[in-house]
């Protein structure tokens, strides 16, 4: 079995996160029913930011239950194998931070999605949510899963024993933990 080039995979992860412009949101409604949606996003200093409409279901869900999982996933047309799409999932806590201040975040949104578009949305019922990441997992391909943080500072290979449970590896003595 060949050794993983962890630094190369980490650079691949950072390039991937920078290239993906939307994230999948997994929220929960008042009855505990899961709800899946998506949103364009930007990131700064290990946090994710989404700018969403008050009439969207996920807006109401995040207001009532700040627990949210998000996923960045490789485009189907770009992957070599649909069973091993490159993806990163994060456990987050959401806070509606409104529209005042955060000029640097709105500047990032403008650069990424167009200043005119963001200017128009700021005049509507949209609000900025800050998602604080507490846990993450990046999958680069088969046998290439890593416990991560958004910035890639934490990047620990997760190996599986013959019974499907996580085990520590020589590369990552702290690997493991709980993941949904």
Would the pLDDT of 24 be above 90? yes
Q: What is the mean pLDDT of residues 7-35?
A: 95
Contacts of 33 (CB under 8 A, 6+ apart): none
CB 133 within 8 Å of CB 150: yes
**What's CA 158's distance to the chain center, in Å?**
18
Rounded CA separation 84/140 (Å): 8
Would the pLDDT of 57 be above 60? yes
> What are the backbone angles phi and psi of residue 137, rounded to the nearest 5°?
-140, 130
Q: What is the mean pLDDT of residues 94-123?
A: 92
Q: How confident is the model at residue 159 (pLDDT cuts 50, 70, 90)?
A: confident
Look up residue 47 and give its two tokens: 């946090």
Would the pLDDT of 163 be above 60? no
Rounded CA separation 69/179 (Å): 11
pLDDT value at residue 176: 40
pLDDT value at residue 173: 35
């Amino acid at each position: 079995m060949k050794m993983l080039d962890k630094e190369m995979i980490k650079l691949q992860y950072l390039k991937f996160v920078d290239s993906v412009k939307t994230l999948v949101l997994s929220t929960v409604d008042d009855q505990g029913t899961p709800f899946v949606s998506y949103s364009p996003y930007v990131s700064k200093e290990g946090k994710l930011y989404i700018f969403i409409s008050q009439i969207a279901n996920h807006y109401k869900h995040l207001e009532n239950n700040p627990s949210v999982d998000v996923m960045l996933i490789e485009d189907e047309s770009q992957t070599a194998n649909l069973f091993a799409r490159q993806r990163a999932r994060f456990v987050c806590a959401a806070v509606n931070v409104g529209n005042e201040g955060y000029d640097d975040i709105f500047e990032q949104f403008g650069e990424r999605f167009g200043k005119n578009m963001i200017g128009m949305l700021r005049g509507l019922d949209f609000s900025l949510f800050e998602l604080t990441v507490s846990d993450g997992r990046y999958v680069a391909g088969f046998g290439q899963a890593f416990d991560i943080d958004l910035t890639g500072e934490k990047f620990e290979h997760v190996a599986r024993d013959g019974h499907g449970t996580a085990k520590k590896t020589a590369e990552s003595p702290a690997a493991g933990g709980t993941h949904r």
